[in-house]
Amino acid sequence: MTTPAPAASFTGPAPAEALERAAAALRENNFAVEILDDAAAARTRVKDLIPAGATVFTGASETLRLSGIDEDLNRSGRYDSVKARSSSMDRATQLTEIWKMLACPDVLVGSVAAVTETGSLVAASASGSQLAGYAGAAPQVIWVVGAQKVVPDLSTALRRIEDHCVPLENERCVEAYGVPSALNRVLVLNAEPHPGRGTVLLLREAIGF
């Protein structure tokens, strides 16, 4: 019987061979994939992929925050930021309108909790705000993914979420908002029915949770 790997094994970057296997499998499943050296390269590439003036929503992501991508998309003035626009809207009377904006921007940019070497993307969320767009509502999605998130299979991906990601997200939420997070929703993307809609920028370095 195989002993599960400790959570610490989810922090180091996967070897180059694992990244290549994941990238090849994702391409077979109709995702566009680029393997980039680091977060700086991803930051530049995201700017290339999104035209100025596009309506953009960024899913909550330490990867985007640490890389500077979140700031580029939401504070530069180059794009129509859904987060900036929705922050002034009334949650009590405009919630439906806000959710429509979150689900169907021109471009949704985020990350995932795991990428499998068999070609699946696995996302977890407490609110689900980014998941409708990930699943198909947004016409263009870009995922920026650190090398430590590459795992062999779906069962390991789910264990990574529960053993590694959730505890770290709990800490972040308690510090930022005074309340813990929760593993309320998990989305598994096994393939992309519309080739060209989803792009995975797979980094050789570890970044984010």
* Alpha-helix runs per DSSP H in the chain: 16-28, 39-49, 62-67, 69-75, 82-86, 91-103, 131-132, 154-160, 166-177
Whether the predicted pLDDT of 171 surpasses 70: yes
Mean pLDDT of 159-181: 90
pLDDT, residue 8, reads: 52
Q: Which of 5-14, 37-46, 88-97 has the weakest average pLDDT?
A: 5-14
pLDDT, residue 2, reads: 42
Give residue-wise pLDDT tens across range 22-37: 999 999 999 999 999 9
Contacts of 123 (CB under 8 A, 6+ apart): 110, 112, 113, 130, 131, 134, 186, 187, 189
Count other Cβ atoms within 10 Å, centred on residue 3.
5
Mean pLDDT of 157-182: 91
Using CB atoms within 10 Å of the CB of residue 110, give its burial: 0 to 12 exposed, 13 to 18 middle, 19+ buried. buried
Give the integer Cα–Cα distance in Å for 37 and 201: 10
Tokens for 125, please give them.
């969320």
Whether the predicted pLDDT of 9 surpasses 80: no
Give residue-wise pLDDT tens across range 99-148: 999 999 999 999 999 999 999 999 999 999 999 999 999 999 999 999 99
Q: pLDDT confidence of 1, banded at 50, 70, 90? A: very low
Q: What is the pTM of this model?
A: 0.94
> Which residue is it, tokens 């080739």?
195
**CA-CA distances (angstroms) from residue 170 to 139, 162, 177, 179, 206?**
31, 11, 10, 8, 20
pLDDT, residue 64, reads: 98
pLDDT, residue 81, reads: 97
The SS3 of residue 146 is coil
Domains of the chain: 12-203 (3.40.50.10420)
Cα dihedral 102, 106, 112, 115 sign: positive
